Amino acid sequence: MNMTLRALLGATALLTLAGVTSAETTITVATVNNGDMIRMQGLMDDFYAKNPDIKVEWVTLEENVLRQKVTTDIATKGGQFDVLTIGTYEVPIWGKQGWLVGLNDLPESWDKADLLPAIAGGLTVDGELYAAPFYGESSMVMYRKDLMEAAGLTMPDAPTWADIKAAAAAMTDKSKEQYGICLRGKAGWGENMAFLTAMSNSYGAKWFDENWNPQFDGEAWKATLTDYLALMNEYGPPGASNNGFNENLSLMQTGHCGMWIDATVAASFVTGKDSQVADKMGFALAPDNGLGKRGNWLWAWSLAIPTGSEKVDAAKAFVAWATSKEYTELVASKEGWANVPPGTRASLYANPEYQKVPFAQMTLDSINSADPTKPTVDAVPYTGVQFVAIPEFQGIATSVGQQFSAALAGTTSLDDALKNAQDLTKTEMTKAGYIK
């Protein structure tokens, strides 16, 4: 009897020990401190219920700090993180470098075919998906329906730049601090250059020709910058060279802008509880010039796995859960459909409940009108709509953005800004070996 008891106790101990050693794989997830990611951390009980053998440790950082840390880690193969939150800019660059684990083998139930083609295209290199999109956006026109009506105008669903100019002029009343249009003027690759690059695509402009020669000395870029400066100087708010997304959002919410062309995610803020004009907002596609390209961008925050991770299977399980249709339904059940991560899946936009969200359809139409694989009217050697997917772009575009912001502020001329942009871009691209 004693022997039997000892044997049972021994077996139990072994089982317990085995349970301890195999119970958990801990993965580290680096993410951005936005509302959607914070919300996910509060919903982890669902993940743990489905994956009891995986533990997740979070490193949550401000966007610029996150970029710096994950870039350093992946470039040095530091192995600090098992899952990275990265943008559409990084994915094609890092995928080509072999720094990311391919995700074509995620479970069939995850339904890769359900991803919006424009979003999936920006995260795919040579047929391999290298990041799973968590949240997607484009840009669109957000406008005051009441001011348009007072001016006797109607905003088309698919306006031209001529329509935008006419509307901006009609809605401007500077005596009331009411400005016809608000656009990004703050310098930065992700600030004024995101807008201006997207705008330039609709004017037939491009950053580089097929031999990587910069194109700021061409007529298309001059036409883009000419119209941008005219819109802002005649119908925009004062001090616009200091305004980025947040500043323009505040101006729009407080009734100082007739129109704002910016990220589709802003729609929930201008129609939300903090907006004084929530019930007066209308939405339209970003403008075009009849050349086949609209002036809207494309972006996604996505989850990717660095090749330096030693816990790829567990990381894939987390990525599949966080970017699944089931996760969307989980958020909807807790927070309502207006708060689910938008812009990634066709099934979301087919959902009758989500279709009730006032900006849902225009967001989808905006995303679908962008093509990161063919961003410009003429052929180019790069992917990316409001950016060029090469490592050097961040630095070059920030410098170009400073030139264009100075032109808006009036401290340099339009012609000098374009010449300086051309010269500095050519210098840097020659140094980097693109131009022989």
pLDDT digit string, tens, across residues 382-435: 989 999 999 999 899 999 999 999 999 999 999 999 999 999 999 999 999 999
Residue 387's pLDDT is what? 96
- Residue 105's pLDDT band, with cuts at 50, 70 and 90, is very high
For the chain, the residue count is: 436
pLDDT of 184-206, one tens digit each?
A: 999 999 899 999 999 999 999 99
Least Cα distance to 89 among 434, 421, 372 occurs for 372
- Residue 12's pLDDT band, with cuts at 50, 70 and 90, is very low
pLDDT of 377 over the 80 cut: yes
Please state the rounded mean pLDDT for residues 25-37: 92
Evaluate whether 18-130+298-355 and 139-295+379-431 have a shared fold: yes
Residue 101's pLDDT is what? 98
pLDDT of 8 over the 80 cut: no
- Residue 17's pLDDT band, with cuts at 50, 70 and 90, is very low
pLDDT of 301 over the 90 cut: yes
Please state the rounded mean pLDDT for residues 48-62: 96
At a CB cut-off of 8 Å and minimum separation 6, what does 90 contact? 67, 71
Give phi and psi for 80, each to the nearest 5.
-70, -30
3-state secondary structure the chain: CHHHHHHHHHHHHHHHHHHHHHHCEEEEEEEECCHHHHHHHCCHHHHHHHCCCEEEEEEEECHHHHHHHHHHHHHCCCCCCCEEEEECCHHHHHHHHCCECCCCCCCHHHCHHHECHHHHHHCEECCEECCEEEEEEEEEEEEEHHHHHHCCCCCCCCCEHHHHHHHHHHHCEHHHCEECCECCCCCCCCCHHHHHHHHHHHCCCCCECCCCCECCCCHHHHHHHHHHHHHHHHHCCCCHHHCCHHHHHHHHHCCCECEEEEECCHHHHHCCCCCCCHHHEEEEECCECCCCCECCCEEEEEEECECCCCCHHHHHHHHHHHCCHHHHHHHHHHHCHHHCCCCCEHHHHHCHHHHCCCCHHHHHHHHHCCCCCCCCCCCCCCCCCCCCCCCCHHHHHHHHHHHHHHHHHCCCCHHHHHHHHHHHHHHHHHHCCCCC
Domain spans of the chain, in order of start: 18-130+298-355, 139-295+379-431
- Residue 65's pLDDT band, with cuts at 50, 70 and 90, is confident
- Residue 23's pLDDT band, with cuts at 50, 70 and 90, is low
Please state the rounded mean pLDDT for residues 43-64: 94
Residue with tokens 């180019």: 380
Residue 132's pLDDT is what? 98
CB contact at 8 A, 220 and 207: no
Please state the rounded mean pLDDT for residues 118-130: 94
Least Cα distance to 300 among 131, 60, 99 occurs for 131
Tokens for 90?
Answer: 């990084």
pTM score, whole prediction: 0.85
Tokens for 109?
Answer: 């139930």
- Calculate the dihedral angle through the C-alpha atoms of 266, 269, 271, 274, rounding to the nearest 10 degrees: -150
Neighbours of 198 (CB within 10 A): 24
Residue with tokens 């942009």: 421
Which CATH architecture does the domain made up of 139-295+379-431 adopt?
A: 3-Layer(aba) Sandwich (3.40)
Which CATH architecture does the domain made up of 18-130+298-355 adopt?
A: 3-Layer(aba) Sandwich (3.40)
Residue 269's pLDDT is what? 85
- Residue 347's pLDDT band, with cuts at 50, 70 and 90, is very high
Residue 14's pLDDT is what? 41
Weakest-pLDDT range from 1-10, 130-139, 216-225, 301-310: 1-10
CB contact at 8 A, 285 and 359: no
- Residue 68's pLDDT band, with cuts at 50, 70 and 90, is confident
